[in-house]
């Protein structure tokens, strides 16, 4: 089945919905393809807030937010992106409010703001209230609001469609192929412009806050075309996931005054970040927690967790501003934050790297500015390099709306200027061959077993702390798992609602993401942001102040070609020189 649109958006989370909305406002036909019903997208799991220098609670300025973003990213953040973001997010938050997003309010009726990790006043002097929030359901509210606006704007939705191929020929994107879960059929979507916004790949790790659907599909498909993935070595572990489960516990819990404590009841963050303590950036807090655990000060049966203490806070704060987290802790751990310490541990959370783009979301093919005509990306799928080596809390939701909007505007403007490109010959061939190989395979390897081995080994060898020997071992493990994957078969060859078939396909995508990530991490011989190497403790600006570009070697299976891209060290009006990163 064939469909034709001016602009096609892949993914219906915050970035995809914002891109679709702004493309629709550009007077072009727009369709949005989603693996899920849009309001079930993973943006709904984001709890704590969206950061913007509104100054509703305390004095704040976009320059301070830009500084925190650059410093938080350990100076690998592109400063032109940080400046655009820090300015645009202010307008974007007010725009969401005008769309009807029910933000929490100050007594004066303004959008409420609270403190969040890494956000400071006066270029690092003290924590500042910058996170705009809707209790602890901010992402959920953004998702609902943007979906309603897209329905109003006339966006066409294709729900429970899994994209299986990007149609790129002669440097021009011509559309995508997608698998319809309900019918088992392949559909060809022919478009003038395509925007990729399908989220991250956190399911490559054993303990993660990411939904089951976050398997890096479009990153993998882009990579399989011989196109680069940028900064894949930088993966953020959120400090606080519910112990053993990885379910996200918002940073807002510390923004409201929660304190991390070890088995001795000690507030240990005073040792690691004496100025802003528990509100240090996520990479620092996660490493501090793991250090406490390694040194025997963990809590729980296995001594592999840390306590978060809210018991000193008023019940109305816990039950009101942190209602969702309170309910999750009671339900899954049997611990009541009002009177109990809650066990948490770091959980794989967010990919700083992804498909490289410019400031308008145009997908890049190299480190010199080459691009794929008609192809854009936004959100966690993309790497405009706003987050550098470590993303600040709240900047994810901000990234979605700022760069989703810019991608939608740019894609619509491009679509108005061009004719529909010619479609490639037999566009569904590669997707059909991939499915037939899985459905008709007589292989005996099991996808679930391979996925479990991948997730456990990635957690052990490319986790919070890394070293050369472990990552070299992981390169070999991934190649072994990829060889076994070629022998995977499915027990049910049917096409309709075949979740086994879908999960086997997604495993192939995860293996590609793991390959690019591990090779990029092994190659970067320094510690920076979320990439912490025990064999290279220091940040090395002389040799490594540059972005990694990882290419799949199409002539030698299993080989990853590493290239580089310069870091934009200057903004348009403000710039910040790299300095030691202390809090």
* Residues facing residue 294 across a β-bridge: none
Distance from the Cα of residue 364 to its chain's centroid: 18
Three-class SS state of 319 = helix
pLDDT in tens, 83-116: 999 999 999 999 999 999 999 999 999 999 999 9
Q: Which of 174, 203, 254, 282 is catalytic?
A: 282
Q: Where are the beta strands (DSSP E) in 126-200?
A: 126-132, 156-159, 161-169, 172-180, 186-196
Walk along the chain (583 residues) and give the pLDDT tens digit of each residue: 899 999 999 999 999 999 999 999 999 999 999 999 999 999 998 888 999 999 999 999 999 999 999 999 999 999 999 999 999 999 999 999 999 999 999 999 999 999 998 999 999 999 999 999 999 899 999 999 999 999 999 999 999 999 999 999 999 999 999 999 999 999 999 999 999 999 999 999 999 999 999 999 999 999 999 999 999 999 999 999 999 999 999 888 998 999 999 999 999 999 999 999 999 999 999 999 999 999 999 999 999 999 999 999 999 999 988 988 999 999 999 999 999 999 999 999 999 999 999 999 999 999 999 999 999 999 999 999 999 999 999 999 999 999 999 999 999 999 999 999 999 999 999 999 999 999 888 888 999 999 999 999 999 999 999 999 999 999 999 999 999 999 998 988 899 999 999 999 999 999 999 999 999 999 999 999 999 999 999 999 999 999 999 999 999 988 999 999 999 999 999 999 999 998 8
Q: Where are the beta strands (DSSP E) in 303-370?
A: 306-309, 342-351, 355-356, 362-364
Q: Which residues contact 549 (CB under 8 A, 6 or more apart)?
A: 228, 229, 230, 356, 366, 367, 562, 563, 564, 565
Q: What is the pLDDT of residue 535?
A: 95
Q: Which residues contact 535 (CB under 8 A, 6 or more apart)?
A: 467, 468
Q: Which residues contact 426 (CB under 8 A, 6 or more apart)?
A: none
198, 377 contact by CB (below 8 A): no
Nearest to 111 by CA among 40, 51, 32: 51
pLDDT in tens, 187-244: 999 999 999 999 999 999 999 999 999 999 999 999 999 999 999 999 999 999 999 9
Q: What is the pLDDT of residue 405?
A: 98
389, 396 contact by CB (below 8 A): no
CA–CA separation, 265 and 341 (whole Å): 10
CA–CA separation, 380 and 393 (whole Å): 13
Three-class SS state of 350 = strand
In angstroms, the Cα distances linking 77 to 69, 176, 447 are 7, 31, 37
CA–CA separation, 8 and 519 (whole Å): 32
497, 216 contact by CB (below 8 A): no
Q: Which residues contact 327 (CB under 8 A, 6 or more apart)?
A: none
Exposure of 254 in the CB half-sphere (CA atoms within 13 A)? 30
CA–CA separation, 364 and 116 (whole Å): 32
Nearest to 78 by CA among 383, 363, 375: 383
Is residue 290 exposed (0-12), middle (13-18) or buried (19+ Cβ within 10 Å)?
buried
In angstroms, the Cα distances linking 8 to 20, 91, 182, 411 are 8, 26, 20, 9
Is 0.85 topped by the overall pTM?
Answer: yes
Instruction: State the sign of the Cα–Cα–Cα–Cα dihedral 342, 345, 348, 350.
Output: positive
282 catalytically annotated: yes
73, 529 contact by CB (below 8 A): yes
Q: What is the 3-state secondary structure (H, E, C) of 397-431?
A: HHHHHHHHHHHHHHHHHHHHHCCCCCCCCCCCHHH
CA–CA separation, 203 and 440 (whole Å): 26
382, 355 contact by CB (below 8 A): yes
CA–CA separation, 220 and 511 (whole Å): 8
CA–CA separation, 239 and 321 (whole Å): 20
Place of tokens 């061009």: 418
């Amino acid at each position: 089945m064939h469909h034709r649109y001016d602009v096609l958006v892949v993914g219906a989370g915050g970035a995809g919905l914002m891109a679709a909305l702004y493309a629709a406002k550009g007077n072009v036909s727009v369709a949005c393809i989603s693996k899920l019903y849009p309001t079930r997208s993973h943006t709904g799991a984001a709890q704590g807030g969206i950061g913007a220098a509104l100054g509703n609670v305390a004095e704040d300025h976009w320059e301070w937010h830009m500084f925190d973003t650059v410093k938080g990213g350990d100076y690998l953040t592109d400063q032109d992106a940080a400046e655009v973001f820090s300015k645009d997010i202010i307008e974007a938050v007010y725009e969401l409010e005008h769309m009807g997003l029910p933000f929490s309010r100050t007594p004066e009726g303004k959008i409420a703001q609270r403190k969040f990790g890494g956000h400071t006043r006066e270029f690092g002097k003290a924590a500042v209230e910058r996170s705009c929030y809707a209790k602890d359901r901010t992402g959920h509210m953004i998702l609902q609001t943007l979906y309603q606006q897209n329905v109003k704007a006339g966006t066409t939705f294709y729900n429970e469609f899994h994209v299986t191929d990007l149609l790129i020929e002669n440097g021009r994107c011509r559309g995508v192929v997608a698998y319809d879960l309900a019918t088992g059929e392949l559909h060809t979507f022919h478009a003038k412009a395509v925007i990729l916004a399908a989220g991250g790949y956190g399911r490559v790790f054993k303990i993660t806050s990411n939904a089951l659907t976050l398997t890096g599909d479009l990153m993998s498909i882009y990579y399989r075309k011989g196109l680069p993935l940028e900064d894949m070595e930088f993966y953020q572990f959120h400090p606080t996931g519910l112990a053993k489960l990885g379910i996200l516990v918002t940073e807002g819990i510390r923004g409201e005054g929660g304190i991390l404590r070890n088995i001795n009841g000690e507030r240990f963050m005073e040792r690691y970040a004496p100025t802003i303590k528990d509100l240090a950036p996520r990479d620092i807090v996660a490493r501090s927690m793991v250090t406490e655990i390694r040194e025997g000060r963990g809590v729980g049966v296995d001594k592999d967790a840390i306590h978060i203490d809210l018991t000193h806070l008023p019940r109305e704060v816990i039950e009101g501003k942190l209602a969702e987290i309170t309910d999750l802790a009671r339900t899954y751990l049997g611990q009541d934050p009002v009177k109990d310490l809650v066990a948490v541990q770091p959980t794989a959370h967010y990919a700083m790297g992804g498909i490289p783009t410019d400031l308008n979301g145009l997908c890049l093919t190299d480190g010199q500015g080459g691009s794929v005509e008609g192809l854009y990306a936004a959100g966690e799928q993309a790497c405009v390099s706003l987050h550098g080596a470590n993303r600040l809390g709240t900047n994810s939701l901000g990234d979605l709306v700022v760069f989703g909007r810019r991608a939608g505007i740019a894609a619509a403007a491009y679509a108005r200027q061009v004719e529909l490109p010619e479609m490639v010959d037999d566009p569904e061939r590669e997707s059909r061959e991939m499915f037939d190989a899985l459905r008709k395979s007589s292989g005996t390897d099991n996808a679930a077993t391979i996925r479990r081995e991948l997730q456990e080994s990635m957690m052990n060898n490319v986790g919070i702390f890394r070293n050369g020997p472990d990552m070299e071992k992981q390169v070999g493990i991934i190649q072994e798992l990829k060889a076994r994957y070629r022998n995977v078969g499915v027990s049910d060859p049917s096409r309709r609602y075949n979740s086994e078939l879908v999960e086997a396909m997604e495993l192939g995508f995860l293996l590609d993401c793991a390959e690019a990530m591990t090779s990029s991490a092994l190659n970067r011989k320094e510690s920076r942001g979320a990439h912490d190497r025990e064999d290279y403790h220091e940040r090395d600006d002389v040799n490594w102040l540059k972005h990694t570009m990882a290419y799949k070697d199409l002539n030698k299976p299993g080989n990853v070609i590493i290239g580089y891209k310069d870091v934009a060290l200057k903004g348009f009006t403000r710039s910040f020189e790299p300095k030691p990163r202390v809090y």
